[in-house]
Amino acid sequence: MRPDPRRILVHCPQLETARVRDLLACAMTGVRGAGAECRASVELALAEVVNNVVEHGYATTRCGPVWLGARQMGGDLRVVIADRGRAFAPPDGGLPRQMLRDAPLAELPEGGFGWFLIRTLAREVRVARRGGLNVTSLRFVLRADGPKGRIVPRRVLPSRRLRPTLRESRKEAVMPITPVSTLVARAKARIDTLPPERVRDMLDRDEAMLVDIRDVRELSREGRIDGAVHAPRGMLEFWIDPESPYHKPVFATDKTLVLFCAAAMRSALAVATLRDMGLSNVAEMEGGFAGWKDAGFPVVQDQLS
């Protein structure tokens, strides 16, 4: 029997991101109008979903199958992911505010930050338990009258009344925002992205310095890379700028600063910002912390007190 090209077997605790990309490419065969930005959004969202499957759904069995399907319905791109992991109910909204508070790690919802990213990238997210499967349905919207594959924000429809109410007037005055997926795609197009293997080789030759921009809770929960300098995203520019009163001497180096986050989204935006500040010796690590683990490189797990 020939293997199903729309199915892969994932293993805990490491996820092979290249196989996930191949699975996505197979599922999107025949889909038209999905440009580079759309594919980047779908790929990032899919990686987060499958990472949650690996970390939570198959955490006890250590491995299991994942199915993926994609099809275009008018101006929508529908993606469905299914797995046989344990039943899982992701958090729904309210996470960013919660993560900014000083809440204990035990109170943070399971898979919370990843699902916040998924809901940011996709226009619609539905999760259901059907026939022993976790089924995640994602909807992405394609612009019909602009660049193919661009994700568009929600539009405010004009009022049908001749004299709109004050509330309607305020809605019509709201300008559409640029989706974060578009900002990430633009950043990645103008920065250097290095695979983990290349980064490891540069570290061995003392040519690079790893900079971890994840939140401190992520380090406690997911682990860290030994020797990486931790610089929270909110302080990165202030620590690097030599004219800033918060400057850290560790960043006054000729080595290549290789930034990474959880899944190479925040790091892309951070590297683009540092490029705008005039730094040339800066790049991001492909796949972020997850990519480093997928490559089989060691991580350090600190004991929580």
Tell me: do 18 and 123 sit in the same domain: yes
Same domain, 125 and 195: no
For residue 170, being part of any structural domain is answered with: no
Does residue 218 belong to any structural domain of this protein?
Answer: yes
Q: Could you give the CA distance from residue 281 to residue 240 in angstroms, rounded to a whole number?
A: 12
Range of the domain at 222: 187-294
Question: CB–CB of 71/78 below 8 Å?
Answer: yes
Burial grade of 184 (CB within 10 A; 0-12, 13-18, 19 or more): buried
Note the residue count of the chain.
Answer: 305
**In this predicted model, which residue has the larger pLDDT, 195 or 180?**
195
Same domain for 199 and 274?
Answer: yes
Any domain includes 179: no
Cβ atoms of 259 and 284 within 8 Å: the answer is yes
The enclosing domain of 268 has a CATH number of 3.40.250.10
Domain-located, residue 150:
no
Per-residue confidence (pLDDT) for residue 65, from 0 to 100 = 84
Say what the pLDDT of residue 167 is.
56
- Mean pLDDT on 279-287: 95
115, 202: one domain: no
Q: Are strands 208-212 and 7-11 parallel, antiparallel or unpaired?
A: unpaired
Q: Are residues 48 and 109 in the same domain?
A: yes
Does residue 102 form part of some domain? Answer: yes
Cis peptide before 13 (omega within 30 of 0): yes
Give the end of a domain, one of 141, 159, 176.
Answer: 141
Q: Give counts: helices (H), strands (E), the chain.
A: 11, 10
Q: Pick 195 or 5 by higher pLDDT.
A: 195
Pair (124, 199) in one structural domain: no
Q: What is the CATH number of the domain that holds 62?
A: 3.30.565.10
Report yes or no on 81 lying in a domain: yes
Question: Is position 302 within any domain?
Answer: no
Summarised one tens digit per residue, pLDDT across range 46-102 is 877 877 777 777 767 667 788 888 777 777 888 888 888 888 777 655 444 444 344
CB distance 287 to 264 below 8 Å: yes
Contacts of 188 (CB under 8 A, 6+ apart): 40, 268
Average confidence score pLDDT of the chain: 76
Tell whether the model's pLDDT for residue 110 goes beyond 50: no
Q: Mean pLDDT lowest for which of 149-163, 170-184, 187-201, 224-238?
A: 149-163
Residue 106 lies in a domain: yes
11 and 121 co-located in one domain: yes
pLDDT number for residue 119: 80
The residue among 106 and 143 whose pLDDT is bigger is 143
Kindly state whether residues 16 and 95 are assigned to the same domain: yes
- Cβ pair 261, 267 in contact under 8 A: yes
Do residues 16 and 134 share a domain?
Answer: yes
Q: What ranges in 153-205 are assigned the alpha helix state H?
A: 166-173, 180-188, 196-204
- In terms of domains, do 34 and 129 share one? yes
**Residue 213 burial (CB count, 10 A):** 25
How far apart are alpha carbons 196 and 291 in whole angstroms? 7
At 278 the pLDDT is 94
Percent of all residues in the chain with a pLDDT value above 70, rounded to a whole number: 67
Residue at which a domain ends, from 82, 116, 141: 141
Average pLDDT, integer, range 256-265: 94
Alpha-carbon torsion (38, 57, 289, 238), positive or negative: positive
Give yes or no: residues 102 and 35 share one domain.
yes
Task: Give the chain's domain count.
Answer: 2
